[in-house]
Structure 1
Amino acid sequence: MAGGDLRSLALVSTVVTAAMCYVRFAAQRLRPGLPRLAAFLPVLAVLPFLPLAFHAIHPRAISGFFLAWLAESKLLLLAAGQGPLHPSLPLPAFVAVASGPVRLRADKAVQTSSGLGLVSSAVMAALLAVIVYLYRYKEQMNQYLLLTLYSFHVYLALELVLASMAAAARAVLGLDLEPQFDRPYLSSSLRDFWGRRWNLSVPAILRPCVYRPVRAWLGSAPAGVLATFLVSGLVHELMFFYITLRPPTGEATAFFALHGACAVAEAWWARYDRWWRPPPLLATPLVLAFVMVTAFWLFFPPITRPGADKVVIAECEAAIAFLRDAGAWAAGFVRPA
């Protein structure tokens, strides 16, 4: 990041910490419902604007995801007396859970991995570096090969960023955390991919915020699923705005609406035990192919059309060059004379 974005990071971190301290103070003294919601409104109004303080795409998009999606949703749940936040949490833990991809493990007896191991992280970082290197030849690449690399780039970058943030919270605050991904490349269905494997912070928020209220209101699980995917699409439009700084195109909403409809159809088909379904060895590649092909069609164009992907690549190349130079400097510094 440039010096300006480092200053923005310090400013945004200070504002968010102060805002979450205020939220915790208000939640301790006000009952759930309209009193809490009214007290939270100033913070809810400010959070979506904070990512715009950054000039580079990466910090703007990451902070947009953390603040305009996760934090806003968690504060709305807290206003209703629900969700992962509780005013009894220690202040550092409250701030971390409120403003980051940190989910406290509900059942400590459940033995699941709480993040990437060192070896896995190193392998993923190396693969991401290879992908960034291959972008040098993107002008000679087939368009669909390039979009495939973009797909792997999105997964690896999200996995590393979210896992490192959660690991930092675990190391500094001693929190027992749940993992952010669960091997999405092994998904056996769209419901498995979106609900149980991909970016688990998102379904953990969308279930109580959208799915359960809509299901209870309409008495229909499919309506809850469709509403959840629709809201996810609308929020992705906002995430794309943070990336491109251009008005929404509706393509992200169409992408998630399509996947929601297919997930509902998939659940309806699964109710009939005698109907044919693909074996696991075939189901996984079919699911991944469907996700990638529809992403080529609807998900990536709003980013590639204005050239935001080129800026992302340039930022990645600059980051890798910085790490390479820093590593060479460190190696020379510790090398004995």
Structure 2
Amino acid sequence: MFAFLWFGMDPASFRIRREGLSWKSDVRLGLLLMLVGTLGAWLVWAMEWRQILVMFVPMSLGFHFGALRVLKGCLRAAGFPVRTLFPNVLEAHGIGDFWSRRWNVGYSQMMQRLVGRPVEALAGANAGVMAIFIVSGFLHELAITLPVRNGFGLPTVYFTLHGILTLLERKRGRPFGKIPALLAVAVPLGLLFPPAFQNEVIARCLGVFDMIKDVNAG
């Protein structure tokens, strides 16, 4: 179950089944977000909008916050006490909080265990934080720029920038706040997803509506 049906890094949740776990609210919210995300993606396709943030938001809403929330509810209904992988990003207090507690919690847990803690033990806490972001950049190069063979280095720049901003938050002793954090994530999104990836992968995902249109026409 953990290896094939879950995107998190919490195998202990699958050791023992529990009774009476709440799950219905997760399924209801997840299905609603899937519907909203699908309608939003259809609107983007119909209007031929191809700006990265406009394309990414409804697709992310449908999958990250919708489908994965439904999956969480189903696993909890089966007795596995898994946690939400993508909590409400609108509650992020700052950049560090966004990446550690709001966006892809399973991935952040993995990076903390495999990269952050070992580097911190050798070179200190700040080095551990930067190592997480830099390695994240390299991993996203493999997933984004390598397949399209374009935009090399841009995802690493994106994550390195966020690592620096996270350290600045630590140095000032308080987070930057919700709005600055969300802007810092959204505005340079074109670095994380270079134009070639936007056109050859993200925009093509919207092509599913072309297939549906063709089927209906036929």
TM-score range, shorter chain: 0.7 to 0.9
For 2:184, which of 282, 285, 290 is the aligned residue? 290
Whether the 8 Å CA contact 1:214–1:223 is kept in 2: the answer is yes
Cα displacement string for residues 222-246 of structure 1 (whole angstroms, at most 9, x for unaligned residues) = 100000001111111122158x453
Whether the 8 Å CA contact 2:30–2:67 is kept in 1: the answer is no
Whether the 8 Å CA contact 2:92–2:181 is kept in 1: the answer is yes
- Aligned-pair distance for 1:121? 1.6
User: Cα–Cα, structure 1 residues 216 and 302, in superposed 2: closer, same or farther, change >3 Å?
Assistant: farther
- The separation in 2 between residues aligned to 1:115 and 1:293, in whole angstroms, is 35
Aligned to 1:122: 31
Write the letter of the residue equivalent to 2:36: L
Whether the 8 Å CA contact 2:31–2:70 is kept in 1: the answer is no
Structure showing greater relative contact order (alpha-carbon pairs closer than 8 Å, 6 or more residues apart): 2
User: Cα–Cα, structure 1 residues 232 and 294, in superposed 2: closer, same or farther, change >3 Å?
Assistant: same
Q: Do residues 215 (structure 1) and 120 (structure 2) align? A: yes
- The separation in 2 between residues aligned to 1:128 and 1:260, in whole angstroms, is 29
What runs of 5+ residues in structure 1 fail to find an aligned partner? Answer: 1-95, 272-276, 326-337
- Between structure 1 and structure 2, the one with the greater Rg is 1
Q: Do residues 267 (structure 1) and 160 (structure 2) align? A: no
For 2:67, which of 131, 138, 161 is the aligned residue? 161
Task: Give secondary structure in 1 for the equivalent of 2:122.
Answer: helix
For 1:136, which of 42, 45, 50 is the aligned residue? 45
TM-score by length of structure 1 reads 0.53
What runs of 5+ residues in structure 2 fail to find an aligned partner? Answer: none
Aligned to 1:246: 149
Aligned to 1:301: 194
- The separation in 2 between residues aligned to 1:221 and 1:311, in whole angstroms, is 41
Q: Do residues 237 (structure 1) and 146 (structure 2) align? A: no
Percent identical pairs in the alignment equals 24
- Aligned-pair distance for 1:171? 4.3
Whether the 8 Å CA contact 1:236–1:252 is kept in 2: the answer is yes
TM-score by length of structure 2 reads 0.79
Q: Do residues 204 (structure 1) and 97 (structure 2) align? A: no
For 1:228, which of 111, 129, 132 is the aligned residue? 132
User: Cα–Cα, structure 1 residues 303 and 204, in superposed 2: closer, same or farther, change >3 Å?
Assistant: farther
